[in-house]
A and B are shown apart, each in its own frame.
Chain A
Amino acid sequence: MKTMLAIISNALCRITGKNAGAQTVSEGARVVVSRSLSDFTPQATFDIKKCDLHRLEAGPPTKAELTREQGLQYYRTMQMVRRMELKADQLYKQKIIRGFCHLYDGQEACAAGIEAAINPSDHLITAYRAHGYTYTRGVSVKEILAELTGRKGGVVKGKGGSMHMYAPHFYGGNGIVGAQVPLGAGIALACQYQANNQICVTLYGDGAANQVRRIRIQSSPGLKVQSTPRWHEGHVSFSCHGFFNLLFTAARIWCRKLFL
């Protein structure tokens, strides 16, 4: 019955050119028919949870706007990372990838969101779970998979492997838990030193939070993002809400205003 109604609704829409949307076909049925291609807005607004602030006067905005083009672009990025990581998983199980292979499927939203909020001229450093960031920082899937399989066409000619991939303004890929945090602070110090209006995003996990001692270097413009992965490999869905939170938690505008 529902399918019938959907088909009729779509056909009618095509004829009349109207948005069928959430119109019910009949009062009695109270059915929301499935959406068709013509039924979407060019942009959407999302509410963002207010962040706790520490030594800041203003926080990030509490509303975010996403256009259709952006949404599709982010979705494509995330799908690419997902598929790449699933393939890497398969290759690892086939022993075509040896050694370590820390996969990023399920966390693509972090990488996509952060990259959306920063410029290519900004800097990013992370730990060993780096394939997603390697992609968002501009390295092709081919180079990443070649690196994972130890080929000279890899991003670092097969000398780094899964954990040590580098790109312009992307500093890996670091094997030792927590080591990347002071490195990221140093990169941020360099940004401040050179007064080039760039920031450095440093990522670490909840494990590294144990390892790392806080260094308080005054006015160091670094953004530290702690990801607390609640999903492990193989989990299919990701949270859109979480995605947009991350997207605008890393919002460039308030970062710049704060630190520089």
Chain B
Amino acid sequence: MATSLRCFLRSGKQAVLVVARRGIHRSPPAALQVTVRDALNQAMDEELERDERVFLLGEEVAQYDGAYKVSRGLWKKYGDKRIIDTPISEMGFAGIAVGAAMAGLRPICEFMTFNFSMQAIDQVINSAAKTYYMSAGLQPVPIVFRGPNGASAGVAAQHSQCFAAWYAHCPGLKVVSPWNSEDAKGLLKSAIRDDNPVVFLENELLYGVPFEMSEESQSKDFTVPIGKAKIERPGTHITLVSHSRYVGHCLDAAAVLAKEGIDCEVINLRTIRPLDVECIESSVMKTNHLVTVEGGWPQFGVGAEICARIMEGSAFNYLDSPVTRVTGVDIPMPFLTDVLVCGLAEFGSVSPGRRSRAAPLKPEAHLDGKKLKRHQHLN
């Protein structure tokens, strides 16, 4: 159904392009609404077609079309050799994937969620991440580990952990965390083409969300470079840095704040490791205020790392107030269904005698089953 719809839309797009080229009617090219799931599917389809060595393995990826239908249609198209259903043993099939990567193939190893990757984390870290260094460059491991990360809706503590900080801690891995469909498609293609092990953190709640994809992003060679953040919304008063689903929350907050006259700059990290510190620093030098927003736990997290890097770098002198981290609460995720929590976060603080700009700001962040806690540093 989705495939035929896509075909229909593509043919429509082709028609528009032809007309536009003839100069008969100049209109902007049709941008498509594509869900993150379809974008990931497209990325894998295109890379499987492009390179014979690429293959996908994981639980339910073949005959079931994927636990979350991300690999829909791929088994029918590519067959048993390239889309492999595995038994329920992450330790086993992650090891098999890493071994296949060592021997010259380019596997995509899907974890049903990254919570299960903990079973296989020895293979991800000790066998995949460290090998290129330990072998002094003799043995590359071109593998992608992908799957949904972080909180979902009502899946409780053991199925809701965010692993961004865990994996980003380790040298030898690249860690990416896309937000919209363009991110998802472009980053997955880059990850598959990268010769390093890449941890690709998706978000289950984003799978069904449609985003506009530009015409350029519909090309088979469209990639998003790993290691570069994107400024989703330029602003002047305060910088909000986030990754994955919470970029959407930041944009919503920015829209609310814009009505109060506060102009937020929203940065979509896209890549957690290597972190694009330059982008954050140049933004902080412009706005003088920084808030990090993430779903993971606060201690030793992505926000903590950003704070440390800003403090160590040249942008520290431009800060008018300490960095605020907005994170998930430091508890195992409770089981809460249909609970919308409005998190009120106060950004920055006004201290008399300083020419800082931020008045207490109150963005509304609607989150399913999750509380936000503010870490405020008072001057």
* A→B interface (CB under 8 Å): 123, 125, 156-157, 159-160, 164, 166-167, 171-172, 174-176, 179, 181-191, 193-194, 200, 213, 215-217
Contact = CB atoms under 8 A, between A and B. Distances in A.
Interface string B294-319: 00000000000000000000000000
Given A166-B139, A176-B127, A185-B95, 9 more contacts: A171-B102, A182-B93, A183-B123, A187-B102, A189-B96, A190-B100, A190-B104, A193-B55, A213-B89
Contact of A186 (B103, B131, B139): B103
A260 to B, nearest CB: 15
Interface string B323-352: 000000000000000000000000000000
Contacts of A167: 138
A179 B123 contact: yes
Contact of A156 (B104, B127, B136): B136
Contacts of B84: 217
B89 A186 contact: no
A102 to B, nearest CB: 16
Nearest to A125: B99
Closest 6 CB pairs of A and B: A186-B99, A182-B95, A190-B103, A183-B99, A215-B92, A186-B96
A186 B98 contact: yes
Contacts of A215: 86-87, 89, 92-93, 96
A123 B105 CA distance: 14
Interface string B140-160: 000000000000000000000
A217 B96 contact: yes
A171 B99 contact: yes
A193 B105 contact: yes
A123 to B, nearest CB: 7
Contacts of A123: 103
A174 B102 CA distance: 13
Contacts of A157: 136
Interface in B98-122: 98-105, 107, 122
Contacts, number: 107
Given A156-B135, A159-B136, A215-B89, A181 B95 contact: yes
B127 A183 contact: yes
Interface in B64-88: 81, 84, 86-87
A190 B126 contact: no
Given A166-B138, A191-B103, A193-B81, A175 B89 contact: no
Interface of B: 55, 81, 84, 86-87, 89, 91-105, 107, 122-123, 126-127, 131, 133-136, 138-139
A187 B96 CA distance: 7
Contact of B99 (A159, A160, A190): A190
A69 to B, nearest CB: 32
9 contacts: A167-B138, A176-B122, A183-B102, A183-B123, A186-B96, A189-B100, A189-B105, A215-B96, A217-B96
Contacts of A189: 96, 99-100, 105
A190 B134 contact: no
Contacts of B92: 182, 185, 213, 215
A180 to B, nearest CB: 8
Contacts of A190: 99-100, 103-105
A70 to B, nearest CB: 29
B135 A179 contact: no
Given A159-B136, A186-B97, A186-B99, A179 B127 contact: yes
Nearest to B82: A193
Contacts of A179: 95, 122-123, 126-127
B134 A186 contact: no
A194 B52 CA distance: 10
B95 A175 contact: no
B100 A159 contact: no
A162 B97 CA distance: 25
Given A179-B126, A215-B93, A156 B134 contact: yes
Contacts of A159: 133-136
A171 B135 CA distance: 9
Contacts of B94: 182
Given A156-B135, A166-B138, A171-B139, A185 B96 contact: yes
A183 B95 contact: yes
B133 to A, nearest CB: 6
Most chain B CB inside 10 Å of its own CB: which residue of A172, A193, A216: A193
A6 to B, nearest CB: 53
A185 B99 contact: yes
Contacts of B97: 186
Given A164-B135, A181-B95, A217-B96, A176 B103 contact: no
A27 B98 CA distance: 69
A120 to B, nearest CB: 15
A176 to B, nearest CB: 5
A188 B100 CA distance: 8
Contacts of B126: 174-176, 179
A132 to B, nearest CB: 19
Contacts of B95: 179, 181-183, 185-186
Nearest to B102: A171
